[in-house]
Chains A and B, each alone.
Chain A
Amino acid sequence: MRYLPLSQTDREAMLAKIGVSHVNDLFKDVPRDALLKEHVDLPTHMSEMEVEREFNGFANKNVPAGSVPFFVGAGAYRHYVPSSVDHLIQRGEFLTAYTPYQPEISQGTLQALYEFQTQVAQITGMEVSNASMYDGSTACGEAVLMARRATRKKKAILSGTLNPQYVEVVRTVTKYTDDVAVVNPVGTYFLDDLIAQIDDETSCVVVQNPDFFGNIQDYTKLAEAAHAKKALLVVVVTEVVSLGAVRSPGSMGADIVVGEGQSIGNGLTFGGPYVGLLATRQKFVRTMPGRVCGETVDADGKRGFVLTLSTREQHIRREKATSNICTNAGLCTLAFTIHMTLLGEKGFRHLAQLNHAKAVTLADKLDAIDGVSVLNDSFFNEFTVSLPMGAAEAVERLADQDVIAGVPLSRLYPDNPDMTNKLLVAVTETVTEDDMDRLVAELKELAHA
């Protein structure tokens, strides 16, 4: 066994030192009948080459996004990640380190977290960020619980244009507490309706930008209305590249910004691991969940970094902690930070412009097809299209032609007949003009068949 260094001679010498004759003597506290007499019914060990062959077998039964014209988004986006990012995160010193509980020998991880927190605060327009959550959706659930702690009120109002999976996650985390999640009807965003719902019991209003259907809003008035009732505005951003082109939630008056950071530095990997962002204002920092890294000095007065404010956390506070989160998304934050550092101010803005320009180009092309229309007033790199047929069927038939056209909204809203013909289409910098033309040609054929 290539991963097990002990030889039979070693094992015998060690058993002798311990003073037992057989390794099973060390399992003597296990109830007698529970110690297995033989190996469980699974395959025996494999060489590295055999393992690789097995995984090639799994991989070959999937259609990689990069192998076809590809337009799927809805909370995870295919961006190009520079090769240096993956090389750096695979350095053993980053990859195989634990959570930086011993700061003197973890400055690499800690300084990178400090840089991450700064970048997240900057792009969201907030004052502080934590060191990550599992993903955007769980960060959204945590934001609702955080708003309750910050306001000591229990009613969260969720916009009808919030990602439906995020809505479900909030429903789940509030299900067994006495929090109330008010979920608005799915579809269009009505500012006045939302404002009318905010009352003295309201802890927060949760909205998304760009929203799930791709539209961009200015939430400044909503923030003012929430603040007038001492409620918080939570803004969700599932495509962080948009922050290079769209006004930041912080500038609109958001109190908590949560985001899915996958777009920067992290591949699709079928939904995880991703990186949840959570940023807020300085005054709420002690109600924030999760780890946070802070600056300090060492005994020689040199600058250094440590995990701090841990009296909020489960390993100290136990049942009174702000969250039960422990392991978060460390290596994904590192990938985010390295990619963002390669982009810098200039590259991040350029990337956002490029995404938007491509999306505008495709939207115009699709709008020109008879029977197909783009429903958005505004959008960044994703928009909703109405088709003259069921979108799920269209996506399946186009997949047979090696074009993956987007997400049929019926997959996320199975009981909503309004969604049957609607397709959510995402366009990133990885999409070429040829890819767009393929989609247009295939859709034309399907629409007119």
Chain B
Amino acid sequence: MLNNQGRQTDINTAAALSNNNVTTHSGNRGLDQEELLIYEIGNSQTCGVDLEEVGEFKNRLGGVTRDNEIGLAGLSEPECMRHYTRLSRKNYAIDMGLYPLGSCTMKHNPRINEKVVRLPGLGDIHPLQPVSTVQGALDLMDTLAHWLKTLTGMPAVAMSPKAGAHGELCGVMAIKAALDKRGENRTVILAPESAHGTNPATAALCGYKIKNIPSTKDGRVDLQALKDALGPDVAGIMLTNPNTCGLFERDIIEIADAVHAAGGYFYCDGANFNAIVGKVRPGDLGVDAMHINLHKTFSTPHGGGGPGAGPVVLSEALAPFAPVPYVVHGEDGFDLVEHVTDDGCSKDSFGRMTAFHGQMGMNIRALAFMMSHGTDGLARVAEDSVLNANYVMASLSDVMTASFDGPCMHECLFDDRFLADTGVATLDFAKAMIDEGYHPMTMYFPLVVHGAMLIEPTESESKQSVDQFVGSLRHLVEQAKSGNKDLFSGAPYLAPRKRLDETRAARSPVLRWTKPE
């Protein structure tokens, strides 16, 4: 290697100075660059946008004008590009490597989806422009609805929920509305111990009390305990299937039958639909309502925390209670039902959940993903995701402790028994994965096993990629068992930041920048 004087670099000196022995003036470490806040770089005079001059005009703000300084900092376009490009490089992402977050389904995000959503005829249309000028948009929503109904075997779908949890709210509100119509005041929703936190939070938003159903030793809902809990006070059950232990609920049909026999409804949390899409239709299992996270199964990018989309498929029993708006076939093409009226198809609707019509941008991406795969490809999505997860489990179960016997579905669950006596906790083990170049798996969830580690590789990983990941985990297990505690307790060592003080952040919250005194 030549330096700028054209001399050979002294390999021995370079090695000696590498890593922590080199200090830099800038705080940067090569490509690992530090970046200040916009308020520390920019100022109130800089602007990265050229705007038309404003001519003379008579102000009509009614005297309510903003005169004092707001405090915003501006950057020119080159500064702005650099600032956010530098920040982006401090993130892990699915584009960089396997992202095994169980229950989150971090799969490849196809770029054709990003291209079509930006077509002016789709990206540049207003939700309240005349219906005659958005027939293509309504057609698209209707087409996506058809795909979702066909894949789930359900007769109706509510398209407006904005995310999975919003979809849960939609489903539980439909249940409440149906019970109101029946004149029944049921007060309890059942949820298994392994449920996502959103399930009880959603039920509580609708005024329900939560009753937990225990799990059996094989990681499934305890059917007998469920039957014992059922009664005239039970509005329904919220159950994830495949469940959060990564297992298919074998008794699902019996569960649905028991809930229905007791007069309740079956809400299925569809977070794990990826495992069964094209292979099993929830409608065949007795489901009354299920949200579909388009940002999981149908790969609309997660964007560092959203946006998502959570359409909810509904059974015949719940369909009349669906929220407005929705698309209908009218005389002159597609039309929108935007209001609850005393007569007509929306008379039993529980109302409106959001302004406008839902997450169109995510609907477009999801439909592009579906059309790309087709009915054949979607079944293969489920098969390959399940295959990859079982392969991970088979490749690690001799050194890590799988919580339940297989086969698993699209994710596999381990607990911390294999770390017993090593002094390494699940958290430390996960943080050490960062140094290996991986995002950690989901930790400490579900709550039904100790020190849970939930691994979901998804179908978009190659065998080579999964093998490499397995290799890293086996290496870490070996290190933990051989007493190399430091590798874990201080991890990560090689990330843009070392372990962050979360207690300090919560104890005295600093939630915004303020001008130094």
Contacts and interface: CB of A to CB of B under 8 A. Distances in A.
A105 B304 contact: no
A236 B273 CA distance: 37
B289 to A, nearest CB: 15
Contacts of B498: 104, 298-300, 302
B383 interface: yes
A29 interface: yes
A218 B109 CA distance: 46
B305 A25 contact: no
Given A3-B373, A331-B307, A294 B511 contact: yes
B57 A95 contact: no
B26 interface: no
Contact of A4 (B38, B202, B380): B380
Interface stretch (A190-198, A335-343, A436-444): A335-343
A328 B163 contact: yes
Interface stretch (A151-159, A173-181, A200-208, A222-230): A173-181
A128 interface: yes
A27 B88 CA distance: 39
A45 B376 contact: yes
B307 A327 contact: yes
B469 interface: no
Contacts of A338: 80, 84
A317 to B, nearest CB: 7
A23 to B, nearest CB: 5
A97 B302 contact: yes
Count chain B CB atoms within 10 A of each CB in A62, A70, A302 and give the residue with the most. A62
Given A41-B150, A129-B511, A268-B126, A327 B306 contact: yes
A267 B197 contact: no
A447 interface: no
B351 A171 contact: yes
Contacts of B133: 62-63, 399, 404
A379 B60 CA distance: 6
B96 A93 contact: yes
A42 to B, nearest CB: 4
Interface string B272-311: 0000101111001100000001010000011111111100
A32 to B, nearest CB: 10
A31 B253 CA distance: 8
Contacts of B428: none
Interface string A106-129: 111101111101110111000111
Nearest to B460: A3
B52 A354 contact: yes
A99 B93 CA distance: 10
B51 A106 contact: no
A172 interface: yes
A221 to B, nearest CB: 13
Contacts of B384: 4, 6, 11
Contacts, number: 721
B412 to A, nearest CB: 11
B390 A26 contact: yes
Contacts of A333: 305
Interface stretch (B2-10, B355-363, B413-421): B355-363
Given A48-B372, A95-B93, A171-B351, A344 B134 contact: no
A270 B439 contact: no
Contacts of A127: 512
Interface residues of B, number: 205
B339 interface: yes
A93 B295 contact: no
B473 interface: no
B400 interface: no
Contacts of A414: 339
Interface string B116-127: 111111111111
Nearest to A31: B253
A128 B511 contact: yes
Contacts of A122: 70-72
Interface in B17-70: 35, 37-39, 42-49, 51-52, 54-55, 57-66, 68-70
B352 A108 contact: no
Interface string A395-422: 1100100001001000100100000000
Nearest to A10: B463
B448 to A, nearest CB: 14
Contacts of B69: 345
A354 B80 contact: no
Contacts of A123: 70, 72
B252 interface: yes
Contact of B497 (A54, A107, A114, A376): A107
B165 A99 contact: no
Given A98-B302, A324-B169, A396-B132, A176 B108 contact: no
A368 interface: no
B88 A304 contact: no
Nearest to B503: A296
Given A62-B122, A318-B201, A45 B373 contact: yes
Contacts of B411: none
Contact of A294 (B54, B90, B388, B505): B505
19 contacts: A5-B462, A40-B278, A65-B129, A92-B95, A97-B303, A102-B430, A104-B492, A118-B37, A165-B352, A216-B61, A247-B64, A285-B511, A306-B505, A321-B197, A326-B164, A330-B305, A341-B83, A357-B54, A376-B60
Given A52-B116, A273-B362, A310-B506, 13 more contacts: A18-B387, A31-B253, A59-B120, A64-B125, A103-B497, A109-B91, A128-B512, A134-B163, A296-B500, A313-B197, A346-B74, A404-B129, A429-B51
A-B residue pairs, 7 tightest by C-beta: A344-B74, A59-B121, A378-B62, A331-B303, A271-B356, A330-B305, A61-B136
